[in-house]
Amino acid sequence: MSITELLYVLFNNKRFMIGFGIILFQLLLSFMGPLLYPVDPFSTDNPPWTPPNEVYPLGTDRSGRDMLAMIFHGIRNSLYVGVLTGLFTIAMGLVVGLISGIKGGILDEILMAMTNIVMLIPSVLLAILIITYIGYENARLELVAFVLSITAWPGFARAVRSQVLSLREREFVYLSKIAGYNSLKIAFQDILPHLATFTLVSFVNYINLGINGEVGLSILGLTPMNIMTLGKILYFAAITQAFILGKWWTFIPAGLLQVLLSVSLLLIATGIDEVFNPRLRGM
C-alpha cells in the first residue's frame, strides 16, 4: 500500500475521523484563539468571579483572570506537554527495547533489570521528588514532560523488545545478516518498519498520558506558576474553592476540554490500530 492509499483508509475510519476532528478543533482554538482574543491570561485587572457575559465570554476567576484566554493558552501548553511526553517516552523505549532485543546477552539482562526497577517506582512519587528537588519555580514544561516520561517508558521498551525478539528470528533478517549488514542497519531497515504502527499508536497513547499526568501534577501544585495549562486552570479553581462556591465556569469548560482531548486521542489510537491491524478491521 502506498502512503496515499493508507491515508485514504485511515480517513475512512469513523473513530479516527472523529478523534482527528476534535484534535483539529482544539488545535485551531489554541492557535487562532490568542490571535482573535488577545487577552493576557495572567492579567488580574478584571472584576473577580464574573459569570459568563458579553465582555467575558467564559467569565473570570477570583483573581479576575479571563477564563477564555486561560483556556486558549491552556490547551496549547497542555498539548505541548503531551506531545513532548510522547516523544521522550517513545525515544527512550525504542532505544532500550531495540538494543535489548537485537544485542541480547548480558546487555539485555542489564537493560531489562533496569527497566524492571524503573517499572516498580511509583510515577507520581518520583515526579514529586524530582520537582521538589529542582523547585517548581524553576520547573519548565519540558521538565514536566521529562518527569512524566521517566516512569512511562519501561512498558513500551518491554513491548518493543519482545517484538524485536520475534522479528529477529524471521528469515529476512537472517538474509540481511548474511548479506553483511550490521546490527544497526538491520534494526533500521528490517525491524523498525515492522514496529512503526505500534509505535504510532503508543505515541498517541503517551500524548494522552502526558496531558493527564500534567493535570495530576498541576493539581498537586508542582508545575510552573507562570505557564497556563489545562491542569493549572483546574489547580486555580481548586485553590480558590470554586468547586465549593459553585463557580462552575472556572472549571467545567477546562475540564470538558481536557476530557475531550483525552477521548479524541484514544479514538485516534484505536482508529489507527483498526486500520493497521487486519484482525480488528470491520469491527
Partner 1 sequence: MSYDLLKTKNLTKVFESGFLRKTYIKAVDNVNIFLKEGEVVSLAGQSGSGKTTLAKMILRVLEPTSGEIIFKDKNIWRDLKGLKDLKWYWRNVHIIFQNPFSNFNPFYKVDRTLQQALELIGIDPDSHEGKQLIREALEVVGLRPDETLGKYPHQLSGGQLQRIMIARAWIIKPKLLLADEPVSMLDVSTRGKILELFLKLRDEQKTTVLFITHDFGLAYAVSDRVMIMYRGKIIEEGTPDEIFFNPKHKYTKELIESVPMLYRKWKFEL
Q: Which residues 163-202 are close enough to bind partner 1 by CB under 8 A?
A: 170-172, 174-182, 189-190, 193-194
The mark string for 42-61 relative to partner 1 (x by CB under 8 A, - otherwise) is --------------------
Q: Annotate 176-237 with DSSP letters as a single string.
A: HHTTT--HHHHIIIIIHHHHHHHHHHHHHHHHHHHHHHHHHHHHTT-S-TTS--HHHHHHHH
- For residues 212 and 79, is the Cβ–Cβ distance under 8 A? no
Count of residues that interact with partner 1, criterion CB under 8 A:
16
Please, which residue, 36 or 179, has the CB nearer to partner 1?
Answer: 179
Please, which residue, 113 or 245, has the CB nearer to partner 1?
Answer: 113
Please, which residue, 124 or 200, has the CB nearer to partner 1?
Answer: 200
The mark string for 131-170 relative to partner 1 (x by CB under 8 A, - otherwise) is ---------------------------------------x
Please, which residue, 38 or 180, has the CB nearer to partner 1?
Answer: 180
The answer to whether residue 244 forms part of the interface with partner 1 (CB under 8 A) is no
Q: Which amino acid is at 167?
A: L
Q: How far is the CB of 2 from partner 1 (least distance, A)?
A: 11
End-to-end CA distance of the chain: 21
Burial 76-104 (b: 16+ CB within 10 A, else e): bbbbbbbbbbbbbbbebbbebbbbbbbee
